[in-house]
Structures are given as structure tokens and as C-alpha cells.
Amino acid sequence: MLLLSIASILIGFVSPARATTIVVGMGATFFDNAFPFSAVYSGQYQQIYSASVFGQPFLISTISFQTGFDSGAQQATYDFTLSLGTTSRTPGNPGSSYSGTFTPVFSGIVPVNFTNPRSFDFNIPLSTPFLYNPALGNLLMDVVMHSATDSPPGSSLFAWSQNDPQLGRVYNSSGTGPATAGPNNGLVTSFTGATTVPDSGATVLLLGAGVAAVVGVRRTLYNFGSS
């Protein structure tokens, strides 16, 4: 019973999972960009997010993209596969080829109804939530575009952050050309998920007290059995 009580106390001092949203892409300058969610883009696209933005393990459940200031789209439909992983590559040096190990977390069609500029209207609920641990490297997002349509045609644009130490990308030049490095720029992205943060100080103190209590119980039982 004592061990169970100690465990209950320790659990009580670990903060429960907390839902939160992290936005990546607060660079010095902002423009509008169509890649990769556009009818003129096909094939693969990768974006790197700095681990420093997250700071601690984060269970990602939804990814959203911010629409551009000059986006005139009313509706759009995107058919794609999105994967997540970690990489040693950095936003400043994303490479000029597609590489890395990642896990598919969404594949299918997402319809989008656009509202106002700079709104996060494009929301992707992940089929499989992804637990990202910043200690393993920077976050890598891989997108493979299958097809896209928008109305009016060619009008969907998304916020694109430049001179941004938090972002880097590799993309197809002109939408269909060779893979090209895009250091320190990328789409403004919102990650919605949850994080669990232990109260390390309190846990360590209680753990020490718990160990001492267990030792004391064992000594008491031993002495009692020997009398």
C-alpha cells in the first residue's frame, strides 16, 4: 500500500498532456508562394523546421498552413501524401536533394475553403499522430503532391517566410524541375498537438523520499521478523 501511495504522489507531480499550438515561420520578410500546394507543382517537396522551436517532445496531431496576403482562392482540393521524420540537415543547409527517413502520417484529399488572408484555413488532421523528439534532430516534413485544383485556377497562395533561421526547404524548381535548395525560407506552418512536461525538481525530491521510505519499510519488516 505504501509503494502504491508513493507512486500516486509521484504521478501527481507530473504535468498532464497539454494541448498547444506552435507556429513556425516568423522571418524578416514575408511573401506569397504556391509551392507545393498548387496545380503547377508535382512530385516531392521537403521542409525543415528547427528543433529549437519545439524545445521538448511534442505529439503532433494537426498541421496547418497560413494563406498568403494576395491569395484570391475561394476553394481548393489537394491530393497528397505527407510524412514526418527527423534530420541532421539544418534550415540554413537543407541540401539540394531529397533525403532522410520519415513516416507517412497522412495520405488523401483535403478540401479547403479560404476565408481571409493570413488565416490558417488549410488544416491537415494527421491519420497517425507523430511524436517528435527535438533531441533526435530537426523536424523534417516530406510532401508528395499527386494533384491539386483551385478556384479561380492558379489563385491559391500561402505565406512564405524568408530570411528565417527556423525554416529551410528543398523544392522542385519551377514546380517540375530539379530539386533545389531553399535555405532559410519556407511556408509558415502551425503545429497543433500536446506536450507532457514533468516537474523534474519535485519529482526528484519525492523520488528520493520514496526510496527512503521503501528502505525504512524493509528495515522495519526485517527487524520485526527477527525479533
Q: Please tell me the predicted confidence (pLDDT) of residue 49.
A: 98
Q: Please tell me the predicted confidence (pLDDT) of residue 83.
A: 98
Instruction: Name the β-bridge partners of 112.
Output: 76
Could you give the CA distance from residue 136 to residue 159 in angstroms, rounded to a whole number? Answer: 28
- pTM score over 0.85: no
Q: Please tell me the predicted confidence (pLDDT) of residue 70.
A: 83
Instruction: Name the β-bridge partners of 123.
Output: 64
Q: Please tell me the predicted confidence (pLDDT) of residue 31.
A: 86
Please give the CATH number for the structural domain made up of 18-195. Answer: 2.60.120
Low-confidence stretches of the chain (pLDDT < 70) are 1-17, 27-29, 196-227
Q: Tens digit of pLDDT for each residue in 89-112?
A: 999 999 999 999 999 999 999 999
Q: Where do the structural domains in the chain lie, given as residue ranges? A: 1-16+199-227, 18-195
Could you give the CA distance from residue 193 to residue 174 in angstroms, rounded to a whole number? Answer: 33
DSSP β-ladder status, 167-172 and 138-151: unpaired
How many H-runs (helices) and E-runs (strands) does the chain carry?
2, 13
Could you give the CA distance from residue 33 to residue 186 in angstroms, rounded to a whole number? Answer: 9
Q: Please tell me the predicted confidence (pLDDT) of residue 17.
A: 66
